[in-house]
Structure 1
Amino acid sequence: MSPSPLRVAIVGSGIGGLTTAIALQQKGFQVDVYDQASELSEIGAAVSIGGNGMRVLDAIGIGQAIRDASSNLQRIEFHHWQTGEIFYEHPMGDWYDEHFGGPFLGIHRADFHRVLLEGYAGQPKLGRRAVAVNESPDGVEVEFADGSKVEADLLIGADGLRSAVRQHVTGPDEAVFSGMTCFRGVVPVDKVPGGDKFGLTFFLGPNRHLVCYPVRGGEGINFVAYVPDPDWTLESWSAKAEPAEAVAAFEGWTDTVTTMLGNVEETGRWALYDREPLRKWSTDRVTLLGDAAHPMLPHAGQGSNQALEDVGALATYLTADGLGVAEALQRYEQVRKARTRQIQLGSRGNATCFQLPDGPATEERNARLLSLPDNVAWIHGYDVFTAVQETL
């Protein structure tokens, strides 16, 4: 008689949680996904996926569906905040694919989520807010706020920055406020001056910066506009702001920026937090993934990509010959921890680099941009499957 499939409970139905569910279902695991949300609603924001993340999506068979729902970003450009002039650019598109083993895509979160839901054989169980985890040598039990409980052989916390599962693994800790807030939105491309020519586009200036790129086949331009604001501490996907607030925050900037900010129908706004790198991710039956394990500021564009790398590593170890669950989780943590720590801390430093005043420091930064492709190759060209195989 063959052994029963491993029962896996995943808390969190975001990019990391659902991708993990797909990967483990394909390997024969029994997987259930739980989320505290009462409904799966569209969030007006996008993410970028690089070659390192696409490698995992391709491996689980949904890479083409993601490509079809995305915009392939053909260039990277850095613009002066006031004049709008380009001071550095580099091709992406085919060049990026050839160098880093996959495309660089911009995709709306709602489109990404739709592809993942189609790939997951089941439906996330909603309205389940995890409040306690009880672990034994034989399994793990999750308690939810509605009084229900579920048992599993393995629990994966993919429940974000304020993870309830992390409390069980590491004990209480505090999120670190960056002192920065961001405005986010998607604007129709015909309402953005020059938007039809945008790739991955940066506008850098004193104490502020803005990143934008096309989504949905170029129909819309996704923007994230970062400003220091120590008083705005609300970290919420649903928080809103008036477009006029964003326009006022970028007064004096190039018309491209202010017109884009003023033409959005709905602006999201939230404070940016991360956490200090964790020393421990796992117990014998419980582990963390994505933002629950290594929440990072968005200034390296790697939050979703690092969650995808986590999926590739965890799924490979859990099906490796001769590894029990506890050892698989320890191997997973060991191969991921140093890399995600380095990217976490680097993301903090990038914010300062992007928000320099005009002058010598800006000139030095712009000169360093000439080496940008080489400087980011260790991130974008990384193959998580090779890294894991080297440890087996």
Structure 2
Amino acid sequence: MEKPDITIVGGGLAGLSTGIALAESGIDTAIVESRGKAKADIFGFLLWPPGTRSLRWLGVLPEALREGAELDSLAWFLTERTDTRIQVDLAELGAGTFLGIRPSRLESVLRDAALRAGVRILDSVDEWSLRRERATWTVRLRRGEDTTELRTPLLIGADGSGSRLRGELGLPSSRWQPRGQAIVTGVGGPLPARESRQALSATGSGGCVSLGDKASWLYSVEPEADAAADPERALRRYAELDGLDEEYAAAFDQVERAVVVRPWTVTVPRWATDGAVLMGDAAHGMLPHLGLGGSLTLEDVPLLREVAEEAVRTGDFCAARLSAFQRRRQARTAYAQRISNQWARVLCSTTPGARTARDLAMRRMARNVELASRFYRELASPSVPSLGTRMRMMML
């Protein structure tokens, strides 16, 4: 029987980054993960500066940059109006590093760092069960023919938006999906520039993010019926729009596979119970429309370590103490969820006037690039954008 101070359920971005942070603080940490290896990539991470600052804090940003691409610009345009384009120079923004990277590459970087830090990673878990006795959790694992038991005072739920641990703990959650909307996503060839680019069309949007010298993340947001009928066609359509020249279109010719997904926002009213706390997508899963989910997960890590360190130091793992993590993170995560939901609503909306209002706002923003830069600069900080900026964005 093993007796780690903390056991993390989930060995992806959330679990590995948290494991590194705890182990480097001298906390005996184990990670439980069902996968034996990283999944094949069907999307990319666009990590904003708060997320890359956490990678720097963990000591892995240089390795991540070698595996991905530091982005130079963010660009948006309307497909029917070549004069409507918003382009933000990220170096001039001065907010920090924006990173595009394949999830499998980032997980590999984090896994190596976790092992160097002394984290025990128990992967390829076929089954696990949970019971709590005398303020201690017993996690029973089966890996092939072998059975392992972990006795631990604190569990961290880092097993994603569909978190099984959340259900085992009895923490309620709700989901929201944009009605009639789907995302077609895939990994394609390299882009000629290190940027994130998005085009808005009459029925949705599509775009691309550089993931380094050999790959890019390609996606489109479509009416669900169109996406299901021909995913590859839905994805390629954005390679043929005004604003994406032949060099960009070539990336779409190298798509490994186009996959249709229907992601959701997850609302979890309570993130902690006695002896357990949720983080990352398990606590605040969000739509990928603005690329904020990975960054919000990484933002969680320094504060979660602080809360967990104090719990281990005092031996107090009650819900009231662990809930400090939620109290200090909820305003930021709730704002990110809200603006991602709002953006999703307008992309494929059939409500009369919705598209006209969306396009009018884009044209006004194109004439006021400083406001767009201010919004991105504030969103790239670890706080909520100021009320003044939010009001001006709403009035566009």
User: Shorter-chain TM-score: which interval?
Assistant: 0.7 to 0.9
Aligned with 1:319: secondary structure? helix
When residues 251 and 74 of structure 1 are mapped into structure 2, their CA distance, relative to the original with a 3 A threshold, is closer
State the match for 2:379 in structure 1.
379
When residues 62 and 305 of structure 1 are mapped into structure 2, their CA distance, relative to the original with a 3 A threshold, is same
Given candidates 279, 290, 293, the residue that maps to 2:280 is 290
State the match for 1:329 in structure 2.
322
Number of positions where the alignment pairs a residue of Structure 1 with one of Structure 2: 363
| TM-score with structure 1 setting the length | 0.81
Is the contact between residue 19 and residue 116 of structure 1 (CA under 8 Å) also seen in structure 2? yes
State the match for 2:109 in structure 1.
115
Is the contact between residue 244 and residue 262 of structure 1 (CA under 8 Å) also seen in structure 2? no
- Residue 355 of structure 1: how far off its partner (Å): 4.9
Equivalent AA in structure 1 for residue 329 of structure 2: R
* Distance across 2 between alignment mates of 1:206 and 1:219: 31
* Distance across 1 between alignment mates of 2:226 and 2:249: 26
Deviations, residues 41-61 of structure 1 (Å, cap 9, x unaligned): 432421011111122111121
- Residue 313 of structure 1: how far off its partner (Å): 0.8
* Distance across 1 between alignment mates of 2:111 and 2:13: 10
State the match for 1:256 in structure 2.
244
Equivalent AA in structure 1 for residue 271 of structure 2: W
| 1:149-228 correspondence runs (5 A) | 149-171=149-171, 173-178=173-178, 179-189=180-190, 195-216=191-212, 218-228=213-223
State the match for 1:140 in structure 2.
137
* Distance across 2 between alignment mates of 1:374 and 1:56: 22
When residues 51 and 130 of structure 1 are mapped into structure 2, their CA distance, relative to the original with a 3 A threshold, is farther
Aligned with 1:325: secondary structure? coil
- Residue 292 of structure 1: how far off its partner (Å): 0.6
Q: Quick check: 369-378 or 29-38, which moved more? A: 369-378
Deviations, residues 350-375 of structure 1 (Å, cap 9, x unaligned): 12344577645412233135322222
State the match for 1:79 in structure 2.
77
State the match for 1:387 in structure 2.
none
* Distance across 2 between alignment mates of 1:86 and 1:323: 58
Aligned with 2:208: secondary structure? strand
When residues 331 and 361 of structure 1 are mapped into structure 2, their CA distance, relative to the original with a 3 A threshold, is closer
Deviations, residues 285-344 of structure 1 (Å, cap 9, x unaligned): 111111111110012211011111111110022224768333541211211122211211
When residues 361 and 32 of structure 1 are mapped into structure 2, their CA distance, relative to the original with a 3 A threshold, is closer
Aligned: 1:62 with 2:51? no
Is the contact between residue 130 and residue 142 of structure 1 (CA under 8 Å) also seen in structure 2? no
Aligned: 1:246 with 2:239? no
* Distance across 2 between alignment mates of 1:28 and 1:5: 14
Runs of 5+ in structure 2 lacking a partner? 385-396
* Distance across 2 between alignment mates of 1:59 and 1:141: 32
When residues 246 and 63 of structure 1 are mapped into structure 2, their CA distance, relative to the original with a 3 A threshold, is closer
Aligned: 1:366 with 2:345? no
When residues 262 and 331 of structure 1 are mapped into structure 2, their CA distance, relative to the original with a 3 A threshold, is closer
* Distance across 1 between alignment mates of 2:185 and 2:277: 31
- Residue 103 of structure 1: how far off its partner (Å): 0.6
State the match for 2:22 in structure 1.
24
* Distance across 1 between alignment mates of 2:347 and 2:175: 23
| TM-score with structure 2 setting the length | 0.81
- Residue 259 of structure 1: how far off its partner (Å): 3.8
Deviations, residues 248-307 of structure 1 (Å, cap 9, x unaligned): x66974483894575134224242332452210011211111111111001221101111
Runs of 5+ in structure 1 lacking a partner? 190-194, 234-240, 385-392
When residues 318 and 228 of structure 1 are mapped into structure 2, their CA distance, relative to the original with a 3 A threshold, is same
- Residue 76 of structure 1: how far off its partner (Å): 1.3
* Distance across 2 between alignment mates of 1:265 and 1:81: 22
Query: Among the aligned pairs, what percent are the same residue?
Result: 20
Is the contact between residue 243 and residue 266 of structure 1 (CA under 8 Å) also seen in structure 2? no
When residues 7 and 123 of structure 1 are mapped into structure 2, their CA distance, relative to the original with a 3 A threshold, is closer
Equivalent AA in structure 1 for residue 208 of structure 2: C
Is the contact between residue 300 and residue 329 of structure 2 (CA under 8 Å) also seen in structure 1? yes
Aligned with 2:272: secondary structure? coil
* Distance across 2 between alignment mates of 1:312 and 1:160: 18
* Distance across 1 between alignment mates of 2:25 and 2:46: 27
Aligned: 1:35 with 2:30? no
Equivalent AA in structure 1 for residue 325 of structure 2: Y
Is the contact between residue 55 and residue 383 of structure 1 (CA under 8 Å) also seen in structure 2? no
* Distance across 1 between alignment mates of 2:292 and 2:63: 21
* Distance across 1 between alignment mates of 2:67 and 2:238: 31
* Distance across 1 between alignment mates of 2:315 and 2:363: 48
Is the contact between residue 287 and residue 329 of structure 1 (CA under 8 Å) also seen in structure 2? yes
State the match for 1:238 in structure 2.
none
Q: Quick check: 146-155 or 206-215, which moved more? A: 146-155
Equivalent AA in structure 2 for residue 26 of structure 1: E
When residues 294 and 130 of structure 1 are mapped into structure 2, their CA distance, relative to the original with a 3 A threshold, is farther
Equivalent AA in structure 2 for residue 348 of structure 1: N
Aligned with 1:350: secondary structure? helix
- Residue 188 of structure 1: how far off its partner (Å): 1.9
